[in-house]
Amino acid sequence: MSKRTIEEIMDELRNRSRLSQGDKPEESAAKRYDCPKCKDELGFIERRGTMEVWVSCACREWRKAQKLLKSSEITEQFKNLNFAQFKTKGKHQSVKEAYECAVEYVQAYRDIRESRKNSIALLGRPGSGKTHLLTAAANELMRKLFVPVLYFPFVEGFNDLKQDFSLLEDKLNRMKQVEVLFLDDLFKPVGGRPRATEWQIEQTYAVVNYRYLNHKPIMLSSELSVEEIVSIDEALGTRLVEMCQDFLVIVNGSSFGINHRLEGMV
């Protein structure tokens, strides 16, 4: 097969660009394509002086972010959460500190991602916005830094795995290998007691220990205190504390002023 010249390649790209436009009115391009600028070709012909060059479209970054969001297993509703939506006015000081911690974590991520203390933990009272803040941080990492994140809600995640053990090995491997693992509601209490079966502890430890040894970041939320997590399993708890110690906030205080679900109630 003979090699094509640059001129032949440019002619083909030019023809593809013309064909993609067809005879339809330009104003309908937004409806026909995800990216009207490049007509979903991931690039376009641009004249620079006397030359025509193929330019990569900025939508490549948007598409990469969308792919990361889709594979993150964050729900459609949570994919829209951001820091701007989180209100700190009138909230307990610890809620404000949690907000600042999450924002600072995203800002510092590139510098700390390979260090031992590369993780974040927001612990404490339910309804205080821990999941919102960490989801907002995860969305920023994916959209702006193109960092892969995997969301794992502790209770629902393990319930799903118990119903279909054929998924276990693949899921645990993803949890170990993904760049950032978001563990939500670790050991979530039921009836005032932490939810932590021996099997759950064993699987969680396997994931956390792998990530600890390989310096892979974890984003962690839990209603439990540091002491309670360590008391469930010391090896697991101390690893998490060491990884998160530079970005760790305990949200405490009265439910009124902390729990956003009680706003407006006396």
Percentage of the chain surpassing pLDDT 70? 81
Lowest mean pLDDT, pick from 9-13, 109-113, 129-133: 9-13
Predicted local distance difference test score (pLDDT) of residue 70: 78
Span(s) in the chain for CATH 3.40.50.300: 67-262
Predicted local distance difference test score (pLDDT) of residue 161: 87
Predicted local distance difference test score (pLDDT) of residue 220: 98
Q: Return mean pLDDT, the chain.
A: 84
Q: How far apart are CA 155 and CA 163, in angstroms?
A: 13
What is the average pLDDT across 147-154? 93
- Answer whether residue 259 shows pLDDT above 70: no
Q: How confident is the model at residue 19 (pLDDT cuts 50, 70, 90)?
A: low
Predicted local distance difference test score (pLDDT) of residue 9: 60
- Quick check: pTM over 0.85? no
What is the average pLDDT across 87-112? 94
CATH 3.40.50.1000 fits 67-262, yes or no: no
